[in-house]
Amino acid sequence: MNIMLINPKFDRYTRTLCTPSGLLSIASYLEQHGHKVKFLNRAFKETDIRKEFDSFKPQIIGCSFLSPMPLKDAIAVSTEAKKRGIFVVWGGPFVSSVPELCLSLGCFDTISLGEGEQTWLELAETFEKGEDWHNIKGLAYLQEGKLVKTEEREFLDLSTLPPINYEHIEDFEALFLTYYDYDGVFGMYLSKGCTQNCTFCYNRGFHNNCRRQRPIEVVIEEAKYLKEKHGIKAIGFQDELFAGNKQNLAEICHAFIDANLGLYWGCMTRIGIFDEEDFQLMYDAGCRWIEFGVESGSRSELKRMKKGLVPERVPVDLQICNKIGITTLCYFIVGFPDETEEELKETCKLINSIPYSRVVCSYYNPLPGSEAFEKLVAEGRFTPPTNIEDYMKVKVLYSPKPNLSKVSTKDLKAVRCSMLWKSFTQQRFNKGEKKLWSTARKDIADALLLLTGHGLKRGIEQFFITAYEFLDIFFYANFFPKTIKKYGLKRH
């Protein structure tokens, strides 16, 4: 059976896009079972979808995405497919969180809820036999105008998945990223899901707070192949939680060391679960950068977020990494529901104590499927969009919308932009860094990448979007000194 999987293009996206590992995994699994798959990465290269359909003649197509940003393209692609009588499936965390709203669009047939490999295989086999698909596990669809969800699908044993067929990617260099001293960074994944229960995250509904790992030897073979065939220089692991505990981390690192990959790598993990000997082992295995989700410097706010960490541990772990030679990045959220000025000051105090770590700060956005989202709706404090068109209009990049904190929007903007500007203009985050201004270099490289691949019109549009974002950050970071002083955030 001919199956086309599509990573739709983003509408006004201003950050580097990552390797679409989920779709590539589904494609590889379907191929392992005898199906013919074509993968279109429209996020990087927009082609004539009508010609693609006419040439490949798929019986089923799928669109998957994390957020509402690719909705416009997904709708256009799906509408064109339905004109040709093609069965259309959507998937991903956002779609799985608001299935009824998405299905009301009428441009696709069903949603693959949660993890997609086994669901897609059963769909393909069912269609090939000409049988009824409505009782396949893990689906949502409308029947006589009412939402129907089939039985929830159990998680797949990841050891049964084949190695990912990366040859579906046409332009590898388009997916190469830059991190600190390292160019040619390629996104891969070792595990799915996360064991934590952060109230702002979709993980609870999508992964059931469960982390599952692929066989490490399979990932190592993929990395060797990508290095030899496509020239990757480093790996950016896309896992939500790279290692679940010390023992798991040791197994991963020793496997990397024994394999002698000759590749550096970076990952995301948690504050407070590893000690100096663990970070040293990571460094010895090739780790050169780690991202941490810190979110706040306030104990009370971290408790509301259910982060499971104490702010005092943050500088301890970061100092250890800095001493060893691992560059760190910390994510923060401002404007979380009920955040007070005092709590924001505590966050600024924490950031002042980690000048050697890069900081990325976002405004809080109620995410469908998250605990905080459901609580806000139940309390009547937040009314979510009632249709997909309204979700497509939601923009939280330049301002907290809605601002559910007890801090003024002006203060939130000034603090956030000051954090970002400080990271952008900082020369180095690690004493061993060879290339200066790593954040500025990466952000500029990201912007240039987004100017290509979608034609002159889209390139010009992206240029103005990126310029606006830069000016917005520059303005609020530099023209509100009293606000920055009020929160005690150091400028340099």
- The CATH code of the domain that includes 340 is 3.80.30.20
How many domains does the chain fold into? 2
Is 392 part of any domain? no
Cα–Cα dist 450/130, whole Å? 42
Q: Are 212 and 161 in contact (CB under 8 A)?
A: no
pLDDT per position in the chain (492 positions), as tens?
A: 999 999 998 876 545 567 899 999 999 999 999 999 999 999 888 899 999 999 999 999 999 988 888 999 999 999 999 999 999 999 999 999 999 999 999 999 999 999 999 999 999 999 999 999 999 999 999 999 999 999 999 999 999 999 999 999 988 887 888 888 888 999 999 999 999 999 999 887 788 889 999 999 999 999 999 999 999 999 999 999 999 899 999 999 999 999 999 999 999 999 999 999 999 999 999 999 999 999 999 999 999 999 999 999 999 999 999 999 999 999 999 999 999 999 999 999 999 999 999 999 999 999 998 999 999 999 999 999 999 988 888 766 778 989 999 999 999 999 999 999 999 999 888 877 888 888 888 887 777 766 665 566 767 777 787 888 899 999 999 999 999 999 999 875
Cα–Cα dist 443/368, whole Å? 28
Say which residues have a Cβ less than 8 Å from residue 141's Cβ, sequence separation at least 6.
103, 109, 110, 111, 134, 147, 148
CATH code for the domain in which residue 56 is found: 3.40.50.280
Full residue range of the structural domain in which residue 219 is found: 176-361+406-486
Say which residues have a Cβ less than 8 Å from residue 268's Cβ, sequence separation at least 6.
237, 239, 240, 241, 242, 290, 291, 292, 293
| Same domain as 59, residue 133 | yes
Is 395 part of any domain? no
For residue 337, give the DSSP letter. Answer: T
Cα–Cα dist 291/331, whole Å? 8
| Same domain as 356, residue 229 | yes
| Same domain as 142, residue 86 | yes
| Same domain as 99, residue 184 | no
Is 166 part of any domain? no
pTM for this entry: 0.94
Q: Helices 455-478 and 438-450 sit at what angle, rounded to 10 degrees?
A: 150
> How far separated are the first and last CA of the chain, in Å rounded?
59
Q: Are 59 and 127 in contact (CB under 8 A)?
A: yes
* The token pair that represents 319 in the structure block: 């100092």
| Same domain as 464, residue 323 | yes
Last residue in a domain, options 149, 166, 193 = 149
| Same domain as 201, residue 136 | no
